[in-house]
Structure 1
């Protein structure tokens, strides 16, 4: 998760380095679907304080890249990581070569970005043919299914259309609304508000726990070009 409205470094210290519903348990569920080796290149876009990168190191992955716009969070992540390379940058302009990434993770980041089209195009650019895209995030369950306008969040239909439009095929879609509610409670107990993009156009802290907002895990694979 990333953004500028909250003190993310302080949240990392009070809530933990994985600032998202489900933490690395959902990451592991996604990895079950992906055919990867220890030498697969994994990029974590919006890596924050490096919670996922640390977890991936611990389970044996050796080629890891973390991207985040916050120099402060990257500085906090660096001491706990051994092999991961950390880069300051934006999701809309990923400083990696095209078709080099085996797995791109975007965990609880897309919803807080100012736009989704440019990041999704970048994801498609850097992921190699046959590579994987894993997104976990909030989505609108209360908005007009045709327009998806509920606090600016996309509906499931819109998300899947955007992913397919960038050359990815859906492998898994799961909803984990209970984890979202639990995370909202943890944030409130820590004295923090949820990101503005999650509030469905309101300023009420408990909006995520009352409906209109769901949480999903999606795994998609980039189509391989047919042989000539």
Structure 2
């Protein structure tokens, strides 16, 4: 079966701009302020894509973040746009970094793209310094029982990987993270979806476009609606390992 990658599809950026995350950089900025990141801190952007967060952190706060992403195509774009930064090809499940080398890890609309979320969270815990921060913003299902149906669609998109928020929280806490902030930001997701519909006519049509027609976008959207997608921001501090 052909597996499409909506994450890499240029048409998404052509329609929506450089970043598709709900709220733009507003939650990125909140993470910087809440965690009190400074120019002295080593910060990682997990699933950096075209490097938008890396660029924002440097331009607004002079923080030179490192970006990691599995896509050679997207990293090539990031390196051209932000030549001052380090971009490394790799996956969240197997990060090529030493233990306890980062003060902060951002995962903005990318944790839901990971093949193994639990393994990725373990890696985040490993590379963070004691007292370091994991800042995640992502989509979740307010009806997680319906998410299983999304697995029938073979394509790469955060909306296919909606989190069960309770299970995600339990996973982080079991590893030794202390969750300091966990808030619903679904209004930002709603605003983004309204913009998509305005630009593209319907969400079903949008999915057909961004997956190059390899799925039935209208059927996918119908199931997605049953899942009741929401959006959250979370800031978790690394404590003692419980493994």
Q: Which of these residues, 181, 192, 199, is aligned with residue 206 of structure 2?
A: 192
Question: Following TM superposition, by how much is the alpha carbon of 1:30 offset from its aligned partner in structure 2, in angstroms?
Answer: 1.5
Q: How many Å separate the matches in 2 of 1:176 and 1:32?
A: 17
Question: What is the correspondence of 1:23-42 to structure 2 with a 5 Å cutoff?
Answer: 23-42=24-43
Partner SS, residue 203 of structure 1: helix
Matched, 1:5 2:14: no
**What stretches of structure 1 of length at least 5 have no aligned partner?**
197-201
Partner SS, residue 36 of structure 1: coil
Change (3 A) 1:149 1:76: same
Change (3 A) 1:169 1:74: same
**Residue 223 of structure 1 aligns with which residue?**
239
Question: What is the correspondence of 1:148-227 to structure 2 with a 5 Å cutoff?
Answer: 151=150, 153-188=162-197, 189-190=199-200, 192-193=206-207, 203-204=220-221, 207=224, 212-223=228-239
Question: Following TM superposition, by how much is the alpha carbon of 1:205 offset from its aligned partner in structure 2, in angstroms?
Answer: 6.6
User: Deviating runs (4+, > 6 A) in structure 1?
Assistant: none
Partner SS, residue 134 of structure 1: strand
**What stretches of structure 2 of length at least 5 have no aligned partner?**
151-160, 212-218
Partner SS, residue 181 of structure 1: helix
Report if the CA contact (8 A) 1:9-1:72 is conserved. Answer: no
Q: How many Å separate the matches in 1 of 2:4 and 2:133?
A: 28
| Aligned-residue RMSD, C-alpha | 2.9
Q: TM-score, normalised by structure 2?
A: 0.79
Change (3 A) 1:187 1:94: farther
Q: How many Å separate the matches in 1 of 2:63 and 2:186?
A: 32
Report if the CA contact (8 A) 1:42-1:101 is conserved. Answer: yes
More helix by share: 2
